[in-house]
Amino acid sequence: MLELPAPSFLLAHPTLPLLYAACELPASQVAIVDVSDAARPRIVATLPTGGADACHLLLSPDARTLYVSHYSSGDLAVIRLGADGGFRDDAPAQLHGHAGSGPNPDRQEAPHAHSALIAPGGRHVLVVDLGTDELRRYRLLDGGLLEEDGIAATLPPGAGPRHAAVRGHLLYVTCELDHQVRTLRWDAASATAEVVSETPATLAPPRSAEPQDAHVALVPGPTGDVLLVSVRGPDVIAVHDVAPEGELTYRGAFDAGLWPRHFAVLGDRLLVGEERGHRVRSFALADVLALPPEQGIGDVAELPYAAAAIVSPACVAGA
The per-residue pLDDT for range 182-211, each reduced to its tens digit, is: 999 999 999 999 999 999 999 999 999 999
pLDDT digits (tens, 9 = 90+) for 284-296: 999 999 999 999 9
Asked whether residue 275 is assigned to any structural domain, the reply reads yes
Task: Name the strand (E) or helix (H) holding 134.
Answer: strand 134-141
Which range marks the domain in which residue 258 is found?
A: 203-319
Sheet holding 236-242, edge to edge: 212-221, 224-232, 236-242, 248-255
pLDDT confidence tier of residue 243, bands split at 50, 70 and 90: very high
| 3 state DSSP class of 129 | strand
In a domain, 306, yes or no: yes
Beta bridge partners of 275: none
* Alpha-helical regions (H) of 74-168: none
Q: Is the residue at 84 inside a domain?
A: no
Instruction: Identify the band that residue 38 occupies on the pLDDT scale cut at 50, 70 and 90.
Output: confident
Does a structural domain hold residue 232?
yes
Distance separating alpha carbons of residues 98 and 90, to the nearest angstrom: 23
Residue 1 lies in a domain: no
Task: DSSP letter for 302, please.
Answer: -
Determine the pLDDT at residue 318.
Answer: 75
DSSP E strands in 188-295: the ranges are 192-200, 212-221, 224-232, 236-242, 248-255, 260-266, 269-274, 279-284
Using 50, 70 and 90 to split pLDDT, how confident is the model at 319?
low
Residues 7 and 218: their CA atoms lie apart, in Å, by 25
Largest CA distance in the chain: 56
Q: Is the pLDDT of residue 177 over 80?
A: yes
Residue 71 lies in a domain: no
Number of domains in the chain: 1
What's the alpha-carbon Rg for the chain, to the nearest Å?
19
